[in-house]
């Protein structure tokens, strides 16, 4: 045990104090050009109306809209007093939705952030962990929410009324995703329903057909690809599913092979999110160990680790121009480039840092005291050989 006289250190082990000191030191880094917010960030979503803006959900109960090019907070959506866990943005109704620990879903008009709109409540018995918005019959907008209580509720966005409650999961539901094959207006008009995938703590991925008049499970058997909780599900341009799990893997599940595993990416800790860069052929993953990893999709090999966050990374968002945005419990938003040249520079800088190479340009052209150049090291080695 530590023998520090600081009252804040009572009952803490030496290792926990060392970990606190490590994170405090790491928090001073500026990698990823961090935007610092007041509280933990639990979710991130794109702004469908502006490719340079994002929405982030805070544990303090606010949603912030941030311009990642100017670093400016352009709006704060307030009202909840409990942590916000998930976000969905509807350009159709110009509405922002946020799932909350208070068992409800809050909403705001994008044009009036300081005034909360409809609140969808009274149906979930525990934290709301995921939300998505779908359009059925080409015009009717529905809100789908999933909860720690293992239920999915379908709401009428216009009236705020519950339309359907779906049950099938045996434990909390952590993620929702709309099947991209159902997103076209012609398909919605023809089918009158969309397919939504759900995943949760029971390691199951389930499929639901959701319409205005009815909703039910699309397939009787769940997809089981992980050993434990599935924290995130996303679809790529080919319609294949990408998953992130607490079993320390991210996986690609092939639609053509009835959701059989096509690739797996092993991590040292829980994987919280995954994003696919179709342009560069990269897969990015967010991990509880504070790292954002970039993998070569074709080979499955780890290409680079973006090190900057000093707490668990909770979400990723790939934006236009191969811009990757990460958010974390450390209350920072960080930006990384997946463009070939920028990524090569990042890899080189990380290797130099590992080897202790000093960038003389960053030192104003001056060599750091006590550090030898390659020529000086060769000369010293020659002198040592001559003295033997």
Q: What is the CATH number of the domain that holds 101?
A: 2.130.10.10
Q: Please give the sequence-ordered ranges of beta strands (E in DSSP) within 157-229, or none if there are none.
A: 162-167, 173-178, 193-200, 204-211, 215-217, 223-224
In a domain, 13, yes or no: no
In a domain, 185, yes or no: yes
| SS3 at position 35 | strand
Confidence of residue 229 (pLDDT cuts 50, 70, 90): very high
Residue 31 token pair: 């990698």
CB 145 within 8 A of CB 210: no
Question: Averaging pLDDT over each range in 83-92, 133-142, 367-376, which range is the top one?
Answer: 83-92
What is the 8-class DSSP label of residue 366? P
Reply yes or no on whether the pLDDT at 375 is more than 70: no
Q: Check residue 365 and give its pLDDT.
A: 44
Confidence of residue 130 (pLDDT cuts 50, 70, 90): very high
**CA contacts within 13 A on the Cβ side of 264:** 11
Confidence of residue 15 (pLDDT cuts 50, 70, 90): confident
In a domain, 344, yes or no: yes
In a domain, 374, yes or no: no
Reply yes or no on whether the pLDDT at 384 is more than 70: no
pLDDT in tens, 316-337: 999 999 999 999 999 999 999 9
Reply yes or no on whether the pLDDT at 382 is more than 90: no
In a domain, 299, yes or no: yes
CB 61 within 8 A of CB 52: no
In a domain, 7, yes or no: no
Alpha-carbon span 20 to 26, nearest angstrom: 10
Total domain count, the chain: 1
In a domain, 90, yes or no: yes
Confidence of residue 370 (pLDDT cuts 50, 70, 90): very low
Q: Which residues span the domain enclosing 53? A: 22-355
Cα four-point dihedral sign 296, 322, 44, 24: positive
Q: Check residue 383 and give its pLDDT.
A: 55
Residue whose entry in the numeric block shows the structure tokens 């339309």: 163
Reply yes or no on whether the pLDDT at 171 is more than 90: yes
CB 235 within 8 A of CB 255: no
Q: Is the pTM of this model over 0.85?
A: yes
Nearest to 249 by CA among 279, 306, 288: 288
Q: Check residue 367 and give its pLDDT.
A: 44
């Amino acid at each position: 045990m530590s023998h520090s006289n600081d009252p804040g250190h009572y009952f803490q082990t030496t290792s926990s104090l060392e970990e606190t000191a490590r994170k405090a030191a790491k928090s001073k880094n500026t990698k990823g050009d961090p935007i610092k917010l007041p509280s933990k960030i639990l979710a991130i979503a794109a702004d469908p109306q502006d490719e340079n803006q994002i929405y982030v959900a805070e544990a303090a109960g606010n949603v912030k809209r941030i311009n990642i090019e100017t670093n400016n907070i352009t709006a704060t959506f307030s009202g909840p007093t409990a942590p916000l866990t998930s976000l969905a943005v509807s350009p159709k109704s110009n509405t922002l939705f946020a799932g909350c620990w208070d068992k409800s879903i809050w909403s705001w008009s994008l044009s009036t952030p300081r005034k909360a709109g409809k609140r969808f409540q009274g149906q979930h018995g525990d934290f709301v962990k995921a939300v998505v918005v779908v359009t059925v019959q080409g015009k009717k907008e529905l809100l789908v929410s999933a909860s720690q209580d293992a239920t999915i509720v379908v709401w009428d966005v216009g009236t705020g009324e519950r339309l359907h409650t779906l049950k099938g999961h045996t434990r909390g539901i952590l993620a929702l995703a709309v099947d991209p094959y159902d997103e076209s207006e012609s398909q919605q008009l023809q089918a009158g329903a969309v397919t939504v995938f759900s995943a949760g703590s029971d390691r199951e991925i389930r499929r639901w057909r959701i319409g205005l008049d009815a909703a039910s499970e699309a397939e009787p058997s769940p997809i089981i690809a992980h050993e434990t909780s599935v924290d995130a599900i996303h679809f790529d341009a080919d319609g294949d599913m990408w998953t992130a799990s607490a079993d320390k893997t991210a996986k690609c599940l092939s639609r053509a092979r009835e959701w059989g595993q096509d690739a797996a990416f092993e991590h040292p800790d829980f994987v919280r999110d995954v994003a696919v860069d179709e342009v560069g052929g990269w897969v990015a993953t967010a991990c509880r160990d504070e790292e954002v990893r970039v993998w070569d999709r074709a080979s499955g090999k780890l290409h680079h680790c973006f090190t900057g966050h000093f707490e668990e990374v909770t979400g990723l968002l790939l934006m236009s121009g191969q811009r990757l945005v990460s958010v974390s419990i450390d209350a920072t938003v960080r930006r990384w480039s997946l463009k070939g040249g920028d990524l090569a520079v990042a890899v080189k800088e990380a290797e130099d840092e590992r080897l202790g190479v000093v960038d003389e340009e960053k030192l104003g052209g001056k060599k750091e005291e006590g550090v030898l150049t390659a020529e000086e090291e060769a000369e010293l080695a020659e002198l040592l050989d001559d003295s033997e």
